[in-house]
Structure 1
Amino acid sequence: MKVLPLTLLTALTLPAFSQNKADEKKSPDWENEKVFRINKEAPSATRMPFPSAADAVAKKRLESPYCQLLNGTWKFHHVGHPDQRPKDFFKPDFDVSSWDDITVPSNWQIEGYGTLNYSNATYPFEKNPPYVMGTPPGNFLTYPEENRNQVGSYRRSFTVPAEWADRETFISFEGVDSAFYLWVNGEKVGYSQDSRTTAKFHITEFLVEGDNTLAVEVYQHCDGSYLEDQDMWRLSGIFRDVFIHSTAPTDLADLEVNATVADDYETGQLSPKLTFRNFSDEATTASYTIWLNQQKRVESKVRVPAKDTVTVGGDKVISLPKVSLWTAETPNLHQLTIRVQAEGQEPTFYNHQIGFKRQEIKNGQFLVNGQPVLFKGVNRHDHHPETGHYVTEENMRADILAMKRLNMNSVRCSHYPNDPRFLELCDELGLYVIDEANLEAHGTGWGHWAKDSLAKVPSWKEAHLDRMKNMLERDKNHASIVMWSIGNESGDGVNTKACSAYFRERDPSRPVHYEQAADFPHVDLITPMYKPLPSLNEWCRKEEKKPLDKQRPMIQCEYSHAMGNSSGNLADYWDMWRKERLLQGGFIWDWIDQGLSAKKHAIDVCGPDTRLMGVLTKPQGLPVGGVIIDSKPGHTPKKSLKITAKVRGNKAPQVGTENNNRNESDGYPIVTKGDTAYSLKIDASNKNLEFFVFINGWQSISSPLPKNWQSEFHEVTGTYDGEKLVLIVDGQEVASKPVTGEIQDNGFDVAVGLNTEKPSRRFDGSIKSASLVIDEKPVFDFDFSKLAEQPKTREFFAYGGDFGDQPNDRSFCLNGIVRPDLSWSPQAYEVHKVHEPVHVFHDGKVGDYGQLNLKLKNEYDFIDLSHLQAELEIRIDGELKSTAPVEIPACAPGKMVDWTVTALPLSGIDAQSDCHVRVVFKLKEDTVWAKAGYMIANKEFQLQAPKASPAPAAVPVEWSESDGMITATAGKVKATFQKQNGSLLSYQIDGKEQFAGPLNLNFWRPPVNNDEGAKLPFNLAPWYDVSSTSKPKKVEFQDNHLHFDLSLGVGNSDATIDYLFQENGQLEVTVKLWPREAPMMPRFGMQVQLAASNWEWFGQGPQENYQDRRRSAWTGIHSGSIAELFDYYLDPQESSNRTEVRWSRFGDLTFEATGDRLLEVSAYPHSPLDVELARHPIDLKTKEESGSTTFVNIDYGQMGVGGTNSWGQLPLEKYRLPAKGQYQYSFRISPKIAK
């Protein structure tokens, strides 16, 4: 028996108070970094007593008769400022009958109180630690003083079961954001910060018979909010379970399991440590018995002094030879049952499911039970689209099962401890867990060098340490936890070093991770974020020079930022990691798109000829996005023009002479007609209002932005009367200039908040109203704030800014490999593929008698392949010809064996055949996470590439020219070309038009989020509309051949297009390109509009794929509707691409690769411009609504989507299209001609 020293006894048994009374007088508890717990119980392991061993084993923790859930309906009062709160609401006689009802658990913003707000790292209050009540920037939600720091007051009553009369009663809050006070029956019990770990209070002395009044006062922001700056929705309230529970007067106060594995990695070692607490006034003797799997292992007694605590055990090891060990592949759990009975008490029983596991770092590798493990992991936030941060056990289980189906073996709790039930499920189902403390102070400084980081401020040390202790003590017994994490992006300094020291002393069995500590000695492994691939080889070579026992492994705690259409080069990472001993995987950012279910207005809420490409809110009006007014004659003035808008900016006016925003935008449009007609906007410097008209060039006037530009709406007017430009702000003329002439009609749509000619330009602020008068006739007069009162009818997933929230980081919360509803994104298929635990290698040859000689690699760490079955598929020219089961040879974990597959049915293959073999591995039997037949892995080989077929015969052509056009007639075919840019304007068969729009050169794609993060819409803008900038250098036609030699107007770039007319109405197109003195290209190809609704292709599929994200695709004939094959990312962007396409069929037209290069093909059911401008998928009209055509891209290729990060990194160099050298590809258009 060990008796703890008095100082430790006090920490375990007595309430913890702040010792700094002077600070308390100066500031409230919630603005004092030294006050974070008052009267809270010391943290301890998750557990629950039961009256019998059978119940303890069979029932869930919260099903104990000694536990009473307080979830359900509470009374609720909400205010925007602490001074407005009902200060006496905690008194039992305070009448709350008129208060609203609210469901607990929940976030009050989800329930309709306050405004939903997403922010990555910007604090939603003035940054001035530890204070949260200062005046923030004028556009912040917290700028109005009456909304500076919301307070939610919760009330309910409860009755303590009579059976608990002689027991000690506690109340536990599993999650409250951000800080709260607690009263029971009008008595103040305590105070708590740390929103993600259990806040437990001893309340026996406050209870009465019958109804007890429970009051909780929750603050939206507190000094602890500086340590909770996670990239997520900023949501408040009681969002996890609340329950009361009771123990015997002398009972178990804590339990430390200490289940590990001996050096032989076969023998389990158990050394449980029990802490007893005696609440009575007399010393007592407690007997205790410990069973493992119903076999008695320990039986003893302990003397517990009055009002004291005693810890026993931990010094003796129980050895268990050949015990079944816990791993993510084999989550073997054992029942540890404890009986406790003090003198004169009924016995109490506890049960824990424990796993025997050992994690360690040895010789530069992270080992689990002696084996190096590749972490196939993901970062997970608590998130549900309907309930925000309240996630049910059912939701947690669904997340974990979905992870298992994606061949994942690990999860990082980013960036806070999850609900204890999540860890219990990881124990049960098998996932390695990085348990991360609720610590992120990103907004005070990122990186170990950040001088303002709170990690460097000594007065915040105890607040840091408290969060470590809360996590470790609560979670220490979970088998799934393999690492402790100090937190995330909080800088590094004396405080985080103290946290590391605490972990190492308190639990040396688990390594310590903290990315911000880089390679400093207070972390046990190197865990960078988004480390680019090219640097990994250099790091490995450097680390290998150290002595073996000094080497540390690298596991990327975040990589492959999956924002939007992303996860490019994921396979490249895994190719590297599988080669290098010191690289052991990583954790994808992140699990789920953090979209919230919401409704918005009809797309034509502003009028029948308008399209809302954003959201309307009251009172901001149009806080994000914009409105497009469909182009009509009369939108270009003949005589006069007047634009008026009430606007407020999100960015403070730029000061100084340097134009810091030039790489972000080229101006912020308020009302525009493209960039070459007229515009009222903020200039690119974000310093001035600007009004221009395009008359023989840009004629503009400007004036500095008002000083209170962020906090107040201003009425801005630009007028042109045929003689003068005038700019008016808040009724005062601020600029004018004589101008005469007629404004150019550029053909682009008028827009509010957007620019339809330069779609990368968006207004950054709120537009409350906007009007346009042309030639003294009103075109529109939008009161967006009033329109916001219209019913919202369309459901969508919202992201930052969609609720008028500021600050926000827009769609930066949409980084999931699964959607908010857990459906797979296209990236998920790639994740499943690169994580697969079975690999097949082939030399590309077929042996005698159809024999296939393979090598089989088992990448499981602890199990063989006996749970799998395999099938062999053979496809000839894309069509499935045979499927047959094949026997999998025995293959031990981590080993590779030869595998010979005999008697392949290869009949029907000739020299022209394109033959592929695919091996598919599936589950033999149902598992808890997938049904029998679920595909675990697959591998495709091309056994034979087809020989080129002879080109169709040439046909005679009649040529004619007129009005800049060239017309060719060849039998049933009539084609019309535009001289200026080589476009094929019309393609008729028997007088029937095959196109709905021209076939022309195209170098642009609707930018993916990674493009935007790297500022490519700005940097690559010269390639945006090459068809309008191209000029012919030479045009020739002869026989069946038409040749265009073009100057593209992009640097010194040239291109040629050759059209060859062939028999049966076929047209072969060859494009050559010489890009010079130009930026790299987003894509290179041709685009055509077709009336087709369906698409069939022979190439990579079935899901969309790109040159840097196609490992999961396989070669075959795939088909589907164009609308279904276009992936609607929650922030619309480039989508639907397919690579290595032999041919693609749209209706009666087939596009076939004819050169040395296979095609990339994509099809948009909307115009590329609409895809680029839309903020949400429902901003895009359906084909039925718009009557739009399909935009088909027949490409040489496009650059990869990237994914190293989403804020500057480009796709890997090999996946780019640099502006150098020569590019060439060709394809044949084949119509269906009636015979």
Structure 2
Amino acid sequence: MTFDLTRLADPRVVSENRLPAHSDHRWFRDRAEADAGRSGYEQLLSGTWRFHYAPSPADTVDGFEAPGFDASGWAEIPVPAHIQLQGYDRPQYVNVQYPWDGHEQVEPGQVPTLFNPVASYLRPFELERPLEPGERVSVVFEGAESAIALWCNGRYIGYATDSFTPSEFDLTDALVPGENRLAAQVFKWSSGSWLEDQDMYRFSGLFRDVVLRRRPAAHAEDLRVSVGLSDDLATAEVRLAVGVEGEATVTARLTGVGELTAAADGVLVVRVDAPRLWSPESPELYELVVEVRDAAGVLTEVIPQTVGIRRFAIEDGLLRLNGRRVVFHGVNRHEFGLDGRVITRAQTEADLQALKRINVNAIRTSHYPNNSFFYELADRYGFLVIDEMNLETHGMWDRLRYLGVGVEEAFPGDRPEWQPALLDRAASLLERDKNHPSVVMWSCGNESFGGSGIREVADWFRAHDNRPVHYEGVDWDPRHPDTTDVLSRMYTPARAIAPYLAENPGKPFILCEYAHAMGNSFGGVDEYLALAYTEPRFQGGFIWDFADQAIALTDRYGRDYFGYGGDTGDAPNDGDFCGNGIFFADHTPTPKAQEAAALYRWLLAEVDRDSFTVTSRLLSTRSSAYECRVTLAREGEVLAQAVVDTDVAPGGSASYPLPFAVPGEPGEYVVLVSFRLREANAWADAGFEVAWGQGVFGAWTPTAQLGAAPPRVVHGIHNTGVHGANFHVLFSRLHGGLVSYRYGDTADGGRELLGGIVRPNFWHAPTANERGWGGPAEDGAWLLAGRYLRTLPDARDPEVTVDRDGGVTAVYRYALPVHPSTVCELAYRVEPSGRVEVTQTMELVEGLPALPEFGALLTTSTPLENWRWYGDGPEECYVDRRSGARLDVHETPVATALTPYLRPQEAGSRTGVRWAEVTDDRGAGIRVDAESGMEFSALPWTPDEIEAASHPNELPPIHRTVLRPALMRRGVGGDDSWGARTLPPYRLPASGTLRFRFGFTGV
């Protein structure tokens, strides 16, 4: 048999000579090897390979697979790696579009011929020891995108498609003594690429490990572990079926329980009394040790297999774990990092630790099987996994939606030629991952419409396993509702869930994707969590998504940045739509993670003046497992702290008295109830906070400035000056506003703090969500209003009045270039202390577009480095994303206050700010306060500068600090990023009078 290129364009050819899929267990020669985790039956071939790049199959090197071929002139490339990140081809980010769309006219199953990069690899190897009698050797390519052809010592071995599951080939008959040579060609696009239209960067090459595996003559090829749990959870039965090769005898022992014995059907069985149940809160694992002996009784294999005893099923119409209703606090997770989809076990473990720290209990493997070690780690850390097979045909689904073709054109739909590929991908997923207790549902893929083909996949899953089956596409194509065991939708607004459930009775309901976290987003998600705990059939959802997909790039000036679609010259592309993470591209948390941690917390604390009530959302753990620490503070100063013993049962609620009295004296008092780990675990240190609640009592008031002499007023030709002991204010007739504020008792009149006129501000750099629903086009009038406002003629020379206490007031009225027209007024009252109180007023006229924000913009004359405030924090927060923010005194450097989203946009603001100080390193600067609270940001750039930059590295050098106190900014939104607006409660009013009062002074 020889390799034929026509296989690439034949969807019926899924593989040739590839070994059948089997469980992902590892086998060792003895117990010592198993304990060390290093198998003498495995030989890692990852490392440096010889490499040739060809832009199409026609440009490959003939005969390269021959044993004598001289590859000394070839380049070298690391394996695993994407060739596009090693200087070949280019990374391409597309969401729905097929990557070749518009370049070549190809129909499903066909592949581009003008440009279809081929990576040719060569790797010599020697077996670490001679083969034993009857022993066989295979090579496993854990991930090859998208199709691989393989030769060994010049002999054609086989071919395989499916980028995300192992391709394993038997090499035994092709091996020679001494040095052997593997030759592989990996094709970027094959017929299988039509099934791999996921929202992701498109790469190719060997991107997961390559491993040699040896099989002794007596070998356990496949393990199938199943668990039966009694209704009362008091006993369990662990069953083990082993697929053996050769004359083999198998024994097994469940550590701490006993030997498994053969049942009538030949399956090995053991009973477990009072089993330790596996759950996300307590991922208890047993070790099953399997031993294989040959006909002579000689031990050939030791196989350690973890077992989680749990029952996950649909019971009484609900998804239940060990009999308890489950709510998914989930995320979708692309397997993606700074090296693309080349991910190590250590990186994966760090991801799972980070997700545990923000209270995530569930992961959907969007939209393909992950590395096998992901599931091993999910077992150990405790995640509920929806394991998704490698299928998405979103581009073809759009053909139905936008081109008006009929349902008969659905793809893969009812097309029989694609059925072998679908069933093969289902088998590769299930057979490898079936023994992992973390896997609680099988998913038939993503966004591929519907049809009999996917229904047959669901039937195949059910015929081979008892886990529920998930498929969201039934929501769009209801012809085969039995394809899925759960109702599943994407991005359904929270307000639409209850009506949907009323119209669709019977099955439990999840949102397999929700809270599209693109850029500065993730607003209003609290409504979903509230509903998940009041509407039984709504059992939570999965945030889209875990981390930004981005490519590390360097600009022409040597500055590093994260690139997105189009930044490598890729076309077509979908821009920054890959930036949807609650974690950044380097997998550090964004401010959105602060919100997710709060919404997903498992213990709620509602604080009253004399007590607090704890409500548990835990499934199996009492609140006593965590230390409850209660703190009393007055405006950032801790007054008292105590530990309170709580013991709330899972799903229960109880109240406890506060361990101290909240003072009745004037001031604002905060009571914080914090739950912390008593001991370190695998994902956090002792003392790590897992949940908190806060109560606020009393009120903050500005400190009165008494005893200052009335300021001196100077009426000049062009300016009116107001001067005190340590401040100087100028109001300009020419420029129509407050143009100078000097502060400090020095010979030269103090330090100038303002870098320009104080202006009303109605605009911010549009967020990704605002761009998605067309906000800039609707809101654009407010950009002009703030940038090109005019002082009304009768207000250019404002009337200056002196109050009885010596305060001086000046009022400016600005005509705004909006239609219909309106006026914004700024009234300045200069107090004897030097504090300037600003009252900003505007009448909203019917017919005006919605306001992005209502506030003021002050720039400083020089950069101020430090920002300290009393308000919500510590991370960025907005009116619809402040559940995770707590009231306290916080601080952050101004230089890093603008959150570095992939594309710069409105960011870095804080809500509920009572006062903020922005100072230089000597402590000199400006203080802004608002008795009723405000939104506030201190950034190095204006909204215009932020909006003009496509990437953070394009922001200009820092020359000033921009302060933006605001009555309110529009909430960031978060239902989706392509049309969903901010929810009504988080928008500015559309009518009436807006009035915002704040003050500033030098410090």
- Same-fold call, TM cutoff 0.5: yes
Q: Name which of 828, 833, 837 aligns with 1:1064.
A: 833
* Consecutive unaligned residues in structure 2, runs of 5 or more: 744-748, 802-807
Q: Name which of 311, 323, 327 aligns with 1:370.
A: 323
Tell me, yes or no, if the aligned pair for 1:265 and 1:369 is still in contact at 8 Å.
Answer: yes
Structure 2 match to 1:226 = 194
Tell me, yes or no, if the aligned pair for 1:1151 and 1:1227 is still in contact at 8 Å.
Answer: no
Tell me, yes or no, if the aligned pair for 2:470 and 2:488 is still in contact at 8 Å.
Answer: no
Are residue 464 (structure 1) and residue 422 (structure 2) matched? yes
Are residue 538 (structure 1) and residue 499 (structure 2) matched? yes
- Give a deviation string over 1:161-206, Cα, whole Å, max 9, x none: 2144531222211110010111112111111000101111122222
Amino acid corresponding to residue 156 of structure 1 in structure 2: R
Structure 1 match to 2:774 = 1015
Q: Distance in 2 between matches of 1:1166 and 1:1029?
A: 20
Tell me, yes or no, if the aligned pair for 1:448 and 1:493 is still in contact at 8 Å.
Answer: no
Name the SS of the counterpart of 1:162 in structure 2: coil
Structure 1 match to 2:792 = 1032
Q: Distance in 2 between matches of 1:503 and 1:1082?
A: 49
Q: Name which of 610, 634, 649 aligns with 1:892.
A: 649
Amino acid corresponding to residue 560 of structure 1 in structure 2: A
Q: What TM-score, normalized to structure 2?
A: 0.92
Choose 575-584 or 111-120, whichever is displaced more: 575-584
Are residue 96 (structure 1) and residue 71 (structure 2) matched? yes
Tell me, yes or no, if the aligned pair for 1:271 and 1:317 is still in contact at 8 Å.
Answer: yes
Structure 2 match to 1:1041 = 809
Amino acid corresponding to residue 910 of structure 1 in structure 2: E
Are residue 182 (structure 1) and residue 150 (structure 2) matched? yes
1:75–1:886: structure 2 CA closer, same or farther, 3 Å change rule?
A: same
CA drift of 1:823 comes to: 1.6
Structure 2 match to 1:941 = 695
1:892–1:794: structure 2 CA closer, same or farther, 3 Å change rule?
A: same
Structure 1 match to 2:349 = 397
Tell me, yes or no, if the aligned pair for 2:109 and 2:194 is still in contact at 8 Å.
Answer: no
Q: Distance in 1 between matches of 2:738 and 2:496?
A: 46
- Give a deviation string over 1:738-789, Cα, whole Å, max 9, x none: xxxxxxxxxxxxxxxxxxxxxxxxxxxxxxxxxxxxxxxxxxxxxxxxxxxx
CA drift of 1:1130 comes to: 2.8
- Give a deviation string over 1:846-894, Cα, whole Å, max 9, x none: xxxxxx2221112211111233112222221x22233423222211111
- Give a deviation string over 1:301-329, Cα, whole Å, max 9, x none: 99xxxxxxxxx645x86432211111111
Name the SS of the counterpart of 2:674 in structure 1: strand
Tell me, yes or no, if the aligned pair for 2:119 and 2:185 is still in contact at 8 Å.
Answer: yes
1:1178–1:1152: structure 2 CA closer, same or farther, 3 Å change rule?
A: closer
Question: Following superposition of structure 1 onto structure 2, how do residues 373-772 of structure 1 map, counting pairs within 5 Å?
Answer: 373-385=326-338, 387-446=339-398, 451=407, 452-456=409-413, 457-517=415-475, 520-543=481-504, 546=505, 551-602=506-557
Structure 2 match to 1:840 = 605
Amino acid corresponding to residue 512 of structure 1 in structure 2: H
Structure 2 match to 1:84 = 59
1:1058–1:32: structure 2 CA closer, same or farther, 3 Å change rule?
A: same
Structure 2 match to 1:810 = 575
- Give a deviation string over 1:258-290, Cα, whole Å, max 9, x none: 123222233222222222234xxxxxx532212
Tell me, yes or no, if the aligned pair for 2:598 and 2:691 is still in contact at 8 Å.
Answer: yes
Amino acid corresponding to residue 994 of structure 1 in structure 2: L
Q: Distance in 2 between matches of 1:1054 and 1:915?
A: 39
Amino acid corresponding to residue 322 of structure 2 in structure 1: N
Tell me, yes or no, if the aligned pair for 1:1043 and 1:1056 is still in contact at 8 Å.
Answer: yes
Tell me, yes or no, if the aligned pair for 1:1034 and 1:1044 is still in contact at 8 Å.
Answer: no
1:1043–1:1166: structure 2 CA closer, same or farther, 3 Å change rule?
A: closer
1:360–1:979: structure 2 CA closer, same or farther, 3 Å change rule?
A: farther
Tell me, yes or no, if the aligned pair for 1:272 and 1:313 is still in contact at 8 Å.
Answer: no
Amino acid corresponding to residue 410 of structure 1 in structure 2: A
Name the SS of the counterpart of 1:1025 in structure 2: helix
Q: Distance in 2 between matches of 1:172 and 1:517?
A: 37
1:511–1:954: structure 2 CA closer, same or farther, 3 Å change rule?
A: farther
Name the SS of the counterpart of 1:1065 in structure 2: coil
1:968–1:313: structure 2 CA closer, same or farther, 3 Å change rule?
A: farther
Tell me, yes or no, if the aligned pair for 2:14 and 2:420 is still in contact at 8 Å.
Answer: no
Name the SS of the counterpart of 2:293 in structure 1: strand
Tell me, yes or no, if the aligned pair for 2:332 and 2:364 is still in contact at 8 Å.
Answer: yes
CA drift of 1:1168 comes to: 2.3
Q: Distance in 1 between matches of 2:791 and 2:317?
A: 61
1:253–1:1022: structure 2 CA closer, same or farther, 3 Å change rule?
A: same
Structure 2 match to 1:172 = 140
Tell me, yes or no, if the aligned pair for 1:381 and 1:413 is still in contact at 8 Å.
Answer: yes
Structure 2 match to 1:1079 = 849
Are residue 864 (structure 1) and residue 622 (structure 2) matched? yes
1:300–1:949: structure 2 CA closer, same or farther, 3 Å change rule?
A: closer
CA drift of 1:955 comes to: 5.0
1:947–1:813: structure 2 CA closer, same or farther, 3 Å change rule?
A: closer
Question: Following superposition of structure 1 onto structure 2, how do residues 39-50 of structure 1 map, counting pairs within 5 Å?
Answer: 39-50=17-28
CA drift of 1:255 comes to: 1.5
Question: Following superposition of structure 1 onto structure 2, how do residues 92-241 of structure 1 map, counting pairs within 5 Å?
Answer: 92-125=67-100, 126=104, 128-134=106-112, 145=114, 148-160=115-127, 161-241=129-209
RMSD: 2.6
Name the SS of the counterpart of 2:488 in structure 1: coil
Name the SS of the counterpart of 1:484 in structure 2: strand
Q: Distance in 1 between matches of 2:384 and 2:484?
A: 19
Are residue 346 (structure 1) and residue 294 (structure 2) matched? no
Amino acid corresponding to residue 436 of structure 1 in structure 2: E
Are residue 35 (structure 1) and residue 13 (structure 2) matched? yes
Structure 2 match to 1:666 = none
Structure 2 match to 1:1135 = 907
Q: Name which of 735, 739, 743 aligns with 1:985.
A: 739
Name the SS of the counterpart of 1:257 in structure 2: strand
Q: Name which of 731, 756, 764 aligns with 1:1005.
A: 764
Name the SS of the counterpart of 2:891 in structure 1: strand
Tell me, yes or no, if the aligned pair for 1:448 and 1:491 is still in contact at 8 Å.
Answer: no
Are residue 924 (structure 1) and residue 678 (structure 2) matched? yes
1:882–1:127: structure 2 CA closer, same or farther, 3 Å change rule?
A: farther
Q: Distance in 1 between matches of 2:780 and 2:709?
A: 39
Tell me, yes or no, if the aligned pair for 2:545 and 2:580 is still in contact at 8 Å.
Answer: yes
Q: What TM-score, normalized to structure 1?
A: 0.75
Q: Name which of 327, 334, 346 aligns with 2:279.
A: 327
Name the SS of the counterpart of 1:1063 in structure 2: coil
Name the SS of the counterpart of 2:89 in structure 1: coil
Tell me, yes or no, if the aligned pair for 2:644 and 2:659 is still in contact at 8 Å.
Answer: no
Structure 2 match to 1:703 = none
Tell me, yes or no, if the aligned pair for 1:364 and 1:553 is still in contact at 8 Å.
Answer: yes
Q: Distance in 2 between matches of 1:362 and 1:1104?
A: 41
Q: Distance in 1 between matches of 2:647 and 2:498?
A: 34
Q: Distance in 2 between matches of 1:925 and 1:318?
A: 33
Amino acid corresponding to residue 488 of structure 2 in structure 1: T
Q: Percent of counterpart pairs with the same letter?
A: 32
CA drift of 1:482 comes to: 0.6
Q: Distance in 1 between matches of 2:918 and 2:249?
A: 79
Tell me, yes or no, if the aligned pair for 1:1143 and 1:1153 is still in contact at 8 Å.
Answer: yes
Q: Distance in 2 between matches of 1:336 and 1:829?
A: 39
